[in-house]
Structure 1
């Protein structure tokens, strides 16, 4: 009996990890994929592909290393796509960018100096770029509230109340509220959806390589995934007493990203915030038994993958402003953390502010997105201000 209870705790922790991770940010993934040119079917395929490889990645890493390792899709990467918008070459070029990003993740496993190079990007610059990318999405709940108060207000009210009493479930409950709003809207208008669209389906897109996609999508996607997910993920696990096997983790996440790329999946990485649920004391008092939570999370992601088409259909049927509101509140925490880290050091504040403003501007030069120019501008300003002053 005691062993059953002992096993139940990490199993439940894994299920919670996957449910919170999926329902909190899948709307961000769909928003990002649609923004860069995916059709509704291609976006649904991308969500399915990335969910499946995340599930398999959790099972492989947790089972192989007997550690509560969880992986997730790159939420900052999805937000980056939403801020980037359509690029020259269309969706096939975007898919090409996904493949290049996956290749770079693999290179960090095969060639450690590349990972060291990314680590040399000042955290203030990387976080400022992320904050600038997230800003338009975080503003969406409030612009949506003005445009559609009856649809958006319930989402924000439930999110706020849940943040007070059930903070971990605030965003999932906001999404449940969005489903209710959609149901009310459908009953009022009589609209519906074809039952065939509720069935999960992968749709392959042949990639093409363009300079705009490589520089404007692949490189920024790689940087935000590494700096905002993989590096913090390692730190979170270390704080809980676990050492992540870096090379195997990068191999699994790089190969998983590559496997999902052709079907529209953008990038996968080590879990950061969600990692604490599966690897923390609540999962099990004995750290040696928490690895079961990683397996449980992986299995739950595979089940959610089977339901992903239905989730995508809800997004498609929702009134304008409702789903962006859910995506926005899901990113409030990430935005606040990014801003704090960007301006925490007074000596790095000016370069960080420049980086943030360029990223938030949404400018695109030569078909290259603002995220790349933001990184370039921030590093240039930092170089000018710090030249001759020695290492910081």
Structure 2
């Protein structure tokens, strides 16, 4: 394979694997907070365009393989949050504020320091609690629609053993084949091409606390910070603040058309920044730029993706999403319970977040942070302060062993 072709192929693979492995999570999240099928397809398209434009511009500007992705943990957060007062317009307002907070974090580093000051076990436990419900979906699907779900799970398990990055895309193909073979009585919803749908955002206290704040936190702690670490691991050290500002601004643009959040990629960043993208590190930026162009092209399939979701049993799509998030859940759970200090607080955070409780119109992710934080402070007050800085948690491994976030 020639040196010029290798980064191009790596970029195409990065885009294909990234899109196929988690678009179901994005659509499930947008629909959970009130988007109709047209709005969900528009949100997916807006995210793809935002990812593509940002990746191309940053890669060309920095000559580094800077890969951009949507926030997969953020989409899972939306699933666990559910509808909020004010409907999808209020959710869009929260998306807009979350993007603005990322920009503020770039302009004022003190905000980033506040995020990293959240105790590592608590941050990981909140993420694990958010992911838990979706990770249970494959088991629910096997009980409810065994003829559809069993082939999906078996294909995923086989590919997980033989070609791990393709496990989730393979499961998606298996789901499509199973639906085609067994048939469906669900009507096809919407057209095959995405239509950008602008919704005037509204702002409510409940949506800002339930969605905007947790979305900002999980996007920063579970995506942006690990994404920077992955680039550093391959020898790339771009200035962080312009990257955060660019992803935050792109998130705000995508929010106006239904997209929830963009960020630096973590796992797929390794696909574009590693040896698979070519032997010359100075040319690997071509892979991330190609991945960006590929995501724009794949965004045109947003209507088709929404059509697939509309004819599928909801639990089957959630099962594919859950399979995509198993690696992230495992990593978050290990990071939450491994340190002895803060373990009890982490368990409290996980349980409250996973409970799905909604108090005063505010979702469980926020209350999980509050409950875990109070438990952590109580334990520290009893045992006395201890030295050392909080651990910044990565929600998933750095090696491209499992394509969980993109």
TM-score by length of 2: 0.93
Number of the residue aligned with 2:219: 225
CA apart distance, 1:21? 0.8
Whole-angstrom distance in 2 between the partners of 1:216 and 1:8: 45
In the alignment, what sits opposite 1:112?
109
What is the match of residue 212 of structure 1?
206
Maintained 8 Å contact 1:182/1:314:
no
1:229-268 alignment runs, 5 A limit: 229-268=223-262
Instruction: For residue 331 of structure 1, give the secondary structure of its aligned residue in structure 2.
Output: helix
| RMSD of Structure 2 on Structure 1 (CA) | 1.2
CA shift, 1:192, in A, is: 5.3
Q: Give the Å deviation of 1:244.
A: 2.9
The residue that corresponds to 2:397 in the other structure is none
- The correspondence for 2:327, drawn from 329, 333, 348, is 333
More helix by percentage: 1
SS of the residue 1:205 aligns to? coil
- Matched position secondary structure for 1:179: helix
Corresponding pairs, count: 386
CA contact (8 A) 2:187 2:310 kept: no
Determine the structure 2 residue equivalent to 1:146: 143
Q: Alpha-carbon deviations, 1:205-255, whole Å to 9, x = none?
A: 101110001111000000000000000001111111111321111111011
For 1:132-211, list aligned pairs within 5 A: 132-186=129-183, 189=185, 193=188, 197-211=191-205
- Alpha-carbon separation, structure 1, partners of 2:283 and 2:126: 38
Kept after mapping to 2: 8 A contact 1:152/1:321: no
2:29 aligned to which of 27, 32, 35:
32
Distance 2:212 2:375 in 1: 23
2: CA distance, partners of 1:328 / 1:290:
31
Partner of 2:386: 390
SS at match of 2:69: strand
Query: Of residues 5, 8, 15 in structure 1, which corresponds to 2:5?
Result: 8
On the 8 A contact 1:79/1:137 being kept in 2, the answer is yes
Gaps of 5+ in 1: none
Contact 2:62/2:238 (<8 A) preserved:
no
1:57-97 Cα shifts (integer Å, max 9, x gaps):
11011111000000100000000000000111111110110
Partner of 1:54: 51
Contact 1:182–1:319 (8 Å) recurs in 2:
no
Offset of 1:144 from its aligned partner? 1.0
Shift of residue 116 of structure 1? Answer: 1.1
**Per-residue Cα deviation, 1:164-196 (whole angstroms, up to 9, x for no partner):** 11111000000011111222243x65x6537x6
CA contact (8 A) 1:185 1:319 kept: no
Per the alignment, residue 346 of structure 1 pairs with 340
| Counterparts of 2:375 and 2:313, CA distance in 1 | 42
Displacement of 1:321 in angstroms is 2.2
**TM-score using structure 1 length:** 0.96
